[in-house]
């Protein structure tokens, strides 16, 4: 159970009303109220699942009160701006994904924040691969055969959950590395995209593991490759794109916990301790694993380095593909 020292009324009376007791650090008194975990997407999606599993663990093991607050819209920018408007005391945390930190600022005219100066990483949360899947009528049984089909004059259409999504980025990176004619077909979400794939309206799809798994297992679609650097726990039999002729290829959807850069460093450190312990709990890892997600956790410095690496990769892809989200 996490140790926390709260300033309470009664025994410490007027001293509490005046603020922290002499010698008591801000980190020792944190958290002093309900934590608000902002999610930039609607309930039921991947980010919402990550947040609610984490919140349940924090409540059960640490006795913390955690509000999961969904603020969908503008690719997560609404939630990001909401976090930055909140008091910079560490009680408002944002579950941010690759799009919010490494894509939107470079594919939109004005997102309303600078990820380099306005946001402080607390820790990484989870990472999961997308999977390249095809309708059974597509004759390709491997990535090589799929890319060979994509060399035809008409190319190969692939659907994703939307412009600038992790699937779109993965497809553009594969297009740049392979030189194949891959034509992006954006949908309004992973569910509608999968429905059209199963119905045969689009020949291929780059989808999240949670979206694709059930359809793969009942044979309604066929998986050719996963987009991560290593095979995914949701189906270790599916090879990666990297091991099928594209060494170093990696494109995953990841989430990180972040706060305003105005939050004091000692509070960020306290949050890191709380969050990483919860993320490493066996029940949390099992729950994420069932969704094809891998728990990351780690230090704030490791999170910052990861975000910086991803930003450099996707800035180039966005510029090369001319991706605009406005």
pLDDT tens digits, one per residue of 95-132: 999 989 999 999 998 899 999 999 999 999 999 889 99
Range of the domain at 44: 13-128+253-321
Q: What pLDDT was estimated at residue 141?
A: 96
Q: Pick the more confident residue, 10 or 113.
A: 113
Q: Is the pLDDT of residue 6 over 60?
A: no
Q: How confident is the model at residue 208 (pLDDT cuts 50, 70, 90)?
A: confident
6 within some domain: no
**Distance between CA atoms of 260 and 220, rounded to whole angstroms?**
44
Q: What is the pLDDT of residues 224-241, one digit of tens each?
A: 999 999 998 778 899 999
Q: What is the pLDDT of residues 138-178, one digit of tens each?
A: 999 999 999 999 999 999 999 998 888 889 999 999 999 99
Out of 194, 209, 244, a domain closes at 244
Q: What pLDDT was estimated at residue 11?
A: 32
How many structural domains is the chain composed of? 2
Pair 136, 271 in one domain: no
209 within some domain: yes
Pair 105, 42 in one domain: yes
Out of 244, 263, 295, a domain closes at 244
Pair 211, 70 in one domain: no
Pair 77, 113 in one domain: yes
Q: What pLDDT was estimated at residue 24?
A: 44
269 within some domain: yes
Q: What is the pLDDT of residues 22-56, one digit of tens each?
A: 334 666 789 999 999 999 887 877 788 899 999 99
pTM: 0.80
Q: What pLDDT was estimated at residue 192?
A: 87
Q: What pLDDT was estimated at residue 233?
A: 79
The token pair at 209 is 């593991």
Residue 75 gets which letter from DSSP? Answer: G
């Amino acid at each position: 159970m996490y140790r926390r020292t709260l300033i309470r009324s009664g025994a410490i009376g007027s001293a509490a009303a005046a603020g922290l007791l002499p010698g008591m650090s801000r980190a020792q008194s944190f958290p002093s109220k309900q934590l608000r975990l902002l999610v930039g997407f609607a309930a039921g999606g991947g980010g919402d699942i990550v947040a609610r599993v984490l919140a349940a663990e924090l409540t059960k093991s640490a006795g913390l009160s955690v509000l999961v607050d969904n603020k969908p819209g503008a690719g997560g920018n609404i939630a990001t701006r909401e976090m930055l408007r909140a008091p910079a005391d560490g009680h408002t945390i944002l579950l941010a994904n690759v799009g919010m930190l490494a894509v939107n600022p470079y594919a939109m005219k004005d997102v309303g924040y600078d990820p380099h100066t306005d946001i402080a990483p607390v820790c990484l949360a989870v990472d999961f691969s997308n999977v390249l899947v095809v309708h059974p009528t597509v004759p390709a049984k491997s990535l090589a055969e799929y890319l060979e089909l994509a060399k035809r004059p008409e190319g190969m259409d692939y659907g994703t959950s939307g412009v600038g999504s992790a699937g779109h980025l993965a497809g553009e990176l594969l297009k740049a590395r392979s030189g194949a004619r891959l034509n992006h077909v954006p949908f309004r979400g992973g569910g509608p995209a999968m429905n059209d794939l199963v119905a045969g309206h689009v020949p291929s799809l780059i989808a999240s593991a949670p979206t694709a798994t059930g359809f793969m297992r009942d044979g309604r679609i066929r998986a050719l490759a996963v987009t991560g650097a290593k095979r995914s726990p949701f189906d270790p039999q599916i090879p990666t794109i990297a091991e099928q002729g594209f060494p170093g290829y990696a494109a995953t959807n990841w989430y990180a916990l972040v706060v305003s850069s105005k939050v004091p460093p000692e509070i960020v450190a306290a949050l890191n301790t709380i969050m990483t312990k919860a993320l490493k709990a066996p029940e949390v890892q099992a729950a994420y694993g069932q969704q094809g997600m891998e728990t990351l956790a780690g230090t704030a410095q490791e999170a910052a380095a990861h975000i910086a690496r991803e930003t450099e990769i996707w800035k180039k892809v966005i510029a090369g593909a001319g991706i605009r989200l406005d």
